[in-house]
Chains A and B, each alone.
Chain A
Amino acid sequence: MIVEPCSLTIAEARELLDRRELSAVELTRSCLDRIAAHDGRLNAFITVCREAALAQAAEADARMVGGAGGPLCGIPLALKDIFLTRGVRTTCASRILDGFVPPFDATVVAKLRAAGAVFLSKANLDEFAMGSSTENSAFGPTRNPYDLDRVAGGSSGGSAAAVAANQCLGALGTDTGGSIREPASFCGVVGIKPTYSRVSRYGVIAYASSLDQVGPFARTVRDCAVLLQAIAGVDPRDATCAARPVPDYAGALTGEIKGLRIGVPREYFIEGMAPAVDGAVRAALRQFEALGGRLEEVSLPHTEYAVATYYVLATAEASANLARYDGIRYGLRVAADNNIELYERTRGAGFGAEVKRRIMLGTFALSAGYYDAYYLKAQKVRTLIRRDFARAFERCDVIATPVAPTTAFAIGEKIADPLQMYLSDIFTISVNLAGLPGISVPCGYDDRGLPIGLQLIGAPFAEETILRAADAYERSGATVRRPPII
């Protein structure tokens, strides 16, 4: 059987490209063909940049002939449509950015561009990254490649679905409360959310500034490590970006985890979790033991407050971050007779229901007389959650949990019930509140054949540890990956 180039891993494609058995243009064309064939049903992308991608691929081929190509030269990627791309419209899946074409690249995009990566497309997402299913998009929901009637997860659902459906070799997403890990879990791919401040946020449209973090999706842990290597590191344009050096992530993938202490938090195995998820995660834990890891029961006692804390802090920050969409300088403007009316009409027409709900929640939480009871209290709980993890990491090296309590749910199933939807992130949100790195790696399938993800959480800047553990698990073959139905 001839393998379509678009279904290669980055590592496999790299070898073929370096041996001149495959050109970047061929590889890119294969992805574009795949997109043309399937994205009408999948809706992973808001914008496909066919001509630009082929031109970038040709450039990459020329570079490789000159022997100048690095690990990502000529590799076709998708970008969540939250990253500013110079000259290519950037929507954030919102009508309010109608017609907005950025004059500059986000730092991570500029880094990948300089590395010779090929940008195929801008991937679908929940509007302003607010959601857990990619149903809150002005461009329609993204469907799950394993079941087209189900969600891809969110908010980076387009990126996850595209990687799963072999429309690209890797993708970038963002994760504020689980927006990389949950869709990675639902779509059966690998996704990592690095430590807060590990990757620059400059040129990434802000949802909740103290929680947002950029990370990659790929079909293997190793590919994720290579992508993370390319985007991590200090940025003079982001004052919150860490100055510490970036380690060799791929080099950390030794396959060796003997003696690794794996913390299992009792608060993460709850009533109401899908039995298939519970079973798959427990099986994965046994596999870690078989690989020489040691399980340690740990406690994260403030877990039950994480969702409430998150929805106060994230929405508070969002209410300010989204104030700039006022119809004055760019994007949508609905004509009106005066300023106030201009704001009301523009924002009324431009934002979707979930975005409006979160702006109102955040505005309320910051209002005079409520600030102490909501915002300040939530900050205090955030500190407690951070301490929970610090204490747990005294007893273990990684913490293993499910990514989400269920597998992908049906499109429309939770959209009318925001609280149910918010609970999809119950296992991922604490990690953002604590600023920690977390990875989702496939660990099984339910009886419908829907993927299940295992979450490995690390101490601050311990990306190497969680990548090494995830890679060792992946390579052990405990989970045999199944192809998507499309």
Chain B
Amino acid sequence: MKETTTLKKSAQTDGLSRVDGRLKVTGAARYSAEFNIKGLTYGVLVGSTIAKGSIKSLDTKQAERAPGVLTVITHLNSPKVPGYQDGKPTGNGVFKIFYDNKIYFSGQPVALVVADSFERALFGASQVKAQYNQDNHQTNLRANVNTAKAPHGDGTYKRGTEDAWKTAPVKVEQEYIIPSDIHNPMELHAIIAQWDGDDKLTVWDKTQGVQDARDEIAQIFKLKKENVQVNSKFVGGAFGSALRTWPHEVAAIIAAKALNRPVKVVLSRADMFTSVGYRPHTWQKIGIGATADGKLVGITHEAIGQTSTYENFTEGTVGVSQSLYACPNVNTSYKLVALDVGVPTWMRGPGEATGAFALESALDELSYQLNIDPIELRMRNYAQTEPQGGKPFSSKYLDEAYKMGAEHIGWNDRSPKPGTVNENGWLVGYGMGGGMFGAYRDGATVKAIMMADGNLILQTAVSDIGPGTGTAMVSIASEMMGIPAEKIRFDMGESSLPQAPTQGGSSITASVGSAVYAVCKDLKEKFQQLIGNGGTDKPDYAQVLKQHNLAKLQVTSSAQGGDERKKYAMFSWSVHFVRVKVHPATGVIKIDKVACVADSGHIVSPKTARSQIIGGAIGGIGMALMEEVVFDHRYGRIVNNNFADYHVPVNADIPQIDALFVNKPDPYINPMGAKGMGEIALIGMASAVANAVYNATGKRVRDLPITPDKLITMDVELS
């Protein structure tokens, strides 16, 4: 990118409320399952009750006879899927549903019952009787670490001397464990599939990327891309669970074909635990050492995560140890254990969130050993350039973020001695933890149409899972064009619109925003051409069109990053500060105060940005205090597959949260100077909570979640 001009903070859009807010607060926003299509039928999946083996027999007669049931699709009668050719369990990126009789995980769909109403489909599903040949399954990570294998090469990274931390005068070596966490967006994954003849397909599908979904579906069903239309106008959260196409989507499409009627499949909340990925259960070990004055000597970070037997899932768990601090000697290793479980997938702050919990906990432990304030310790090892390759950062204001956060939380009130502050019978503690995530940018194309009445329409195929993409894009366009937000419409969520990337990896504002920026610039240029020399930069567009007798003026522009990425290391940064209160006798933990600071470059849409940070922090609180998938390994089955037993935070768990921004533009990443924030909002939060709990109680919980039972049964650790 050559342009490095950055947008000024605009008063006009500063407090911009969500452009789609009205639809959301009135119930008019329609999500994937909510399209009332003529002749709609309802599909309900039947899941396997064993974790490994094969289907011996499937009795679907009773289900087929149940009133209203139209068909029961299983591997025995499923129409062949053209893209499923070889004998492998996964094809074109999707686990092959109804492909053969093999069972790879408990909950794997073995049948889809389709009926003329949801009630009837649900009852039909309960009438399907399956018998299995059961094989011995393995679902326990801890019991199988000896089978861990590196996913690529030997899975290691090294700079400087291996295990140098051992030679340091002050050191910590500990194991940190996170359980599997489920994305659990509030909207259940859903799809409506409708064929038009043999070669045209429309789906209303919960997805973070309408065009990626289109491409995958087109490949699986061997259709022309332009004959597959994927719509996902409103997405009720996803956090990564809708980054790829899942088997239930294929199932609905198969059934719609078999019946020649539109079919809707909505996962149950229980299905959400087995069928759309999760943050994988991961064991980590960190060895970290420093000189007496707090200079890091070395870090060794090992991670072993779980994956499925039919597909590997990898993530950047150990990356934080490579890049967060200036440390001369770092070696990491990353391995996977393949288990008889569904495949994990990226979940908000993938890998980094897991890794940061371990690293930032270990650093906290080290700070007590050194008797150095945790912020000071971080500052003494502040990376001025990217520690792996020495590249300069495109921007990094983490030091400012530390200061802002410390001030807001009242860090000065923190006692460096754990377990010493008691307020009315509650122990009080402070903790902090930071995070980083690559600031990415993809190519994107936006079409802009200036209408005769001066209203601007922007179109691109991005989807919005909640951060407020439309709002951010309208903010950018409003400032660029000098017209109020109310006059701008942002069309998205349809695969036929101009190219846009999948919403993930905190890259949308940078990617699509740059294209919005580019298209506005080009549109303005077109207006300049019409006006001729001497026109103002932001003319009265309607009047210009009228003068030239034009009904509209439109332009389509693309934008993508250039070689700035070769010169600079680009990251977003965050730091989280937490004050907790712990009741010593009962182990009850209350989050008392939170301050999160993001270095995300220029903040394009402050109101929605603030919400995004708050949301990420709450996700981190859930991860720290309550979220945990529990298996009964005897059956290889999840025993808490619902919202009553898998706890996510409720309103009572969450205090007011200060969401703060350094708000300094990154001069290189894109014309807005904006970096991502979706991931860093969560990364590091779990460690901040754990560190605060330690500061309050002297109890160091290294296996999440930190539930009351753990606190009351563990001893105080004295450093």
Indicate, yes or no, whether A interacts with B. no
Interface residues of B, Cβ cutoff 8 Å to A: none
Interface residues of A, Cβ cutoff 8 Å to B: none
